[in-house]
Chains A and B, each alone.
Chain A
Amino acid sequence: MKKLVFLFAVAVLAATNLDAQKYFTKEGNITFHAGTKVEDIDATNAAATCIIDAGTGDMEWSALVKGFKFKRALMEEHFNENYMESNTYPKSTFKGKIENISSVKFTADGSYKVKVSGKLTMHGETKDVTTDGTIVVKAGKITADSKFYVNPADYKIAVPSAVQDKISNNIEIVVNANLAELKK
């Protein structure tokens, strides 16, 4: 009997593991607001890759720096050449974990608050980032949303004193993505 219970437990565990799906998109959106009261500096990248492992809670994002679109060409040029140095550091990534992944029921429609922590790499520098987010499950698809703040100085992005009043030292980064199950 004990053996049977054990076997049953193993079977259940195996089944849960098999169920652990990955969710994926390559059309994730990342928008940042780096301006101050003096000037708006906004840009969006609509081609970020995001992958979430529903079993382990592992979450990865990556985006091409040159893919951030600004309204003004001059700002885009400065962003790439002077601040992000995108020829040297073409990609930004986030590798982390949804800490409370077990509270997200990927099989049941609903909205779940999540805590995410991980490492954000940009401009060649890697820093810890912790943030809150929301995962909405609807008909097998999920939407992931979050917002967090970064200080350019932490990533060794130098802001010349002449424009210091124009560029925030608390840049708001908004991310959202619609993910679908990754078929193996």
Chain B
Amino acid sequence: MKKVLIILLVLGLIGGGIGVYLWNKPHRTAENEKPVATLTAEDLFLKFSTDEKTAMTDYLDKTIEVKGTINAISTNETGDTKITLATSHLLAEISCLMKNGTDVSGIQTGTEIVIKGICIGYDTDVQLQQSVIIKK
């Protein structure tokens, strides 16, 4: 009888532990993911603007590494840091939302950067989120 109670207690603790873990689970970020592709900002933009369907199959929800020239560094409405990379199109950029706590000190517009992020699709921009800086 005592044994059964102990087993139930342990199971309960494990279940509760899993529940608490899931509830407080951290957001998925690009940090520890291996990129499925490495490409320039311009190439990424062209892939989406010329054949969105194929690009979506290749990159949606996947981590990719992008190299480009910084257009702007800003903080958006949800408090996230955003780094945009230039493309040849006037309005389109690669828009990278950075992972919480990303240090952007010493980063300047007009300079080159390599960013790894999770691709969430193409609207006006190709958007990456939970990104990290690979090389300044």
Contact = CB atoms under 8 A, between A and B. Distances in A.
- Bound together: yes
Contact of B120 (A24, A27, A62, A67): A67
Given A73-B25, A74-B25, A62 B123 contact: yes
Contact of B95 (A44, A47, A69, A74): A47
Contact of B77 (A29, A62, A66): A29
B121 interface: yes
Interface string B13-30: 000000000111111100
B76 interface: yes
A46 B81 CA distance: 12
B121 A47 contact: no
Nearest to A90: B121
Which applies to chain B's interface (DSSP): helix, strand, loop or mixed? loop
A72 interface: yes
Contact of A66 (B24, B124, B125, B129): B129
A87 B121 CA distance: 10
A91 B127 CA distance: 12
A87 B120 CA distance: 9
Interface residues of B, number: 25
A32 to B, nearest CB: 13
Interface string A129-170: 000000000000000000000000000000000000000000
Contacts, number: 60
Contacts of B91: 24, 26
B50 interface: no
Nearest to B122: A64
A63 B60 CA distance: 15
Interface of B: 22-28, 56, 60-61, 76-78, 80, 91, 95, 97, 120-125, 127, 129
State the 5 A-B residue pairs at the shortest beta-carbon distance, nearest first: A66-B120, A46-B77, A26-B124, A73-B27, A46-B76
Given A26-B125, A47-B97, A91-B123, 20 more contacts: A24-B91, A26-B91, A26-B123, A27-B76, A44-B77, A49-B123, A63-B123, A64-B120, A64-B121, A66-B61, A66-B121, A67-B120, A67-B127, A69-B78, A72-B23, A72-B25, A73-B26, A87-B61, A90-B56, A90-B60
